[in-house]
Chains A and B, each alone.
Chain A
């Protein structure tokens, strides 16, 4: 497939993207398409550039070379004032993206809506929906420190989907969870994907690959590995 063409169906498109940190390439000439409604696993060893790639998709990092399109919009050319609007359409679950410790579960999940000035009634409705979707509705009034690791991650996912984003990005969402919990969280992502959201999960955990059984994109040392693992 010719990646230079801006595909109408592509939700995410990278064209010859490179990024160098301190003379070390974090990404070299990465070109790839992710279609609308896809569930993609971004695999690769530590330091392969997975996080860097995801961070670029939400405008937290800019490539040194190449173009990145999200929903047909060139995010490498976004003005700083436009970045927040991109992030309202792209939900993210990142490792260092914790819950606010002094706010309750429902307040945390409500935050993406609150910053947009959504009415309290709509916030209540959408927060309930999101919490129900991840199965922690009963914890809505608790503070984050009283949650288990799995519950904590579910609340983070609820916060990422409360806006009804078209894309959900997750960086090591199962990084500190045991295998059983990892399975549950992956099932949750599958469920969200089944409702039409494009999902990209970055992980170095091969165990996850067995659970997902979908398209895998592999990065090694910032270079895209050929795509052999698409299961039949």
Chain B
């Protein structure tokens, strides 16, 4: 306990005497980690978005134009009985026409010339939460397509799939960038610790000669690394948060993207804590490497 207090005081003294180097190390680490953070933030938000889109997915089941009403009612019963279906709303030909008119008032004259209402009746189906994965949506759609009286099954899966594909690439890129920049952070902190070690080499030699254990000598530098990593990470999160809020503000004031701004999320507190922890780990790794290298070939 007493040793720990002593060691902590030493680490703090290191940080205080090298205020400039410490600040530079924290800022460069913060910058590096912020780059990783941006990637992570984009990734998290895109993932959220696909989640919502997938949850929101509506499947249009269009009926044969000549289908009698009784058959439509029967089909509705069949759909409702399906365990994978959460809800099925019937849209008659007339309703479809009405919706078209309200949605595209300028184009409603296009339909006039056709005389008879060309729009088919349909069901808008929402699948149960457990059946919303891209694969099961696909399977369900294929099954329903073969039912007599169904003309066509439509859903917006394609571009959700495309988005999911993009996210997979982004995931790989994020891992690559993350590993690369984390290595950079380790190097930055490692170099800072090496400077401290070099400045205090005489003191380290003296500690060795008076019988200080290796742990006693090393721990202050490892703590310093941990502190640098944690501070760097915290600063990067702060910068990201400020940048994120600014970005959201910007989006909301231009209003061009609807209410997209309110859908954007920052990292939850638990993830922030984890990121600071990771920064700390990187810092310890960096100082460990330097301390190891420094200790080599010395008695």
Contacts and interface: CB of A to CB of B under 8 A. Distances in A.
A122 B212 CA distance: 18
A87 to B, nearest CB: 4
A60 B299 contact: yes
Interface string A18-60: 0000000000000000000000000000000000000100111
Nearest to B6: A114
Interface stretch (B93-101, B152-160, B199-207, B229-237): B199-207
Nearest to A120: B2
B2 A87 contact: no
B106 interface: no
Interface of A: 55, 58-61, 80-81, 83-88, 92, 94, 96-98, 100, 111-112, 114-120, 159, 163
B203 A117 contact: no
A58 B209 contact: yes
Contact of B206 (A58, A60, A111, A117): A111
Contacts of B208: 84, 87
List the 10 closest pairs (A to B, CB-CB), nearest first.
A87-B211, A88-B211, A115-B212, A60-B299, A112-B210, A117-B3, A84-B211, A117-B2, A84-B213, A115-B216
Contact of A92 (B2, B6, B209, B299): B209
B78 interface: no
Majority SS at the chain B contact face: helix
A136 B268 CA distance: 61
Contact of A87 (B6, B202, B203, B210): B210
Interface in B46-84: none
B256 interface: no
Contacts of B210: 87-88, 111-112, 115, 159
Interface string B1-12: 111001000000
Contacts of B213: 81, 84, 115
Nearest to B210: A112
A80 B214 contact: yes
B299 A97 contact: no
Given A59-B299, A114-B6, A119-B2, A97 B211 contact: no
A92 B206 CA distance: 11
Given A87-B209, A94-B209, A119-B2, 15 more contacts: A59-B299, A60-B209, A84-B208, A84-B212, A87-B210, A88-B211, A96-B205, A100-B203, A112-B210, A115-B3, A115-B211, A115-B212, A117-B3, A120-B2, A159-B210
Contacts of A94: 209
Nearest to B200: A100
Given A60-B299, A117-B3, A85 B211 contact: yes
Contacts of A119: 2
Interface residues of B, number: 18
14 contacts: A81-B213, A84-B213, A87-B209, A92-B209, A97-B206, A97-B209, A98-B206, A114-B6, A115-B6, A115-B210, A115-B216, A117-B1, A119-B2, A163-B211
Interface in B225-270: none
A84 B216 CA distance: 11
A112 B211 contact: yes
A96 B2 CA distance: 29
Contacts of A85: 211
B206 A84 contact: no
Contacts of B1: 117
Nearest to B209: A97
A1 B85 CA distance: 101
A83 B212 contact: no
A81 B214 contact: yes
Contacts of A84: 208, 211-214
A88 B207 CA distance: 11
Nearest to A116: B211
A99 to B, nearest CB: 8
Nearest to B3: A117
A194 to B, nearest CB: 24
Nearest to B4: A117
Most interface-central of B202, B208, B211, B213 (chain A CB within 10 A): B211
Contacts of B216: 115
Nearest to A99: B206
Contacts of A61: 299
Interface string B175-219: 000000000000000000000000000110111111111101000
A81 B217 CA distance: 12
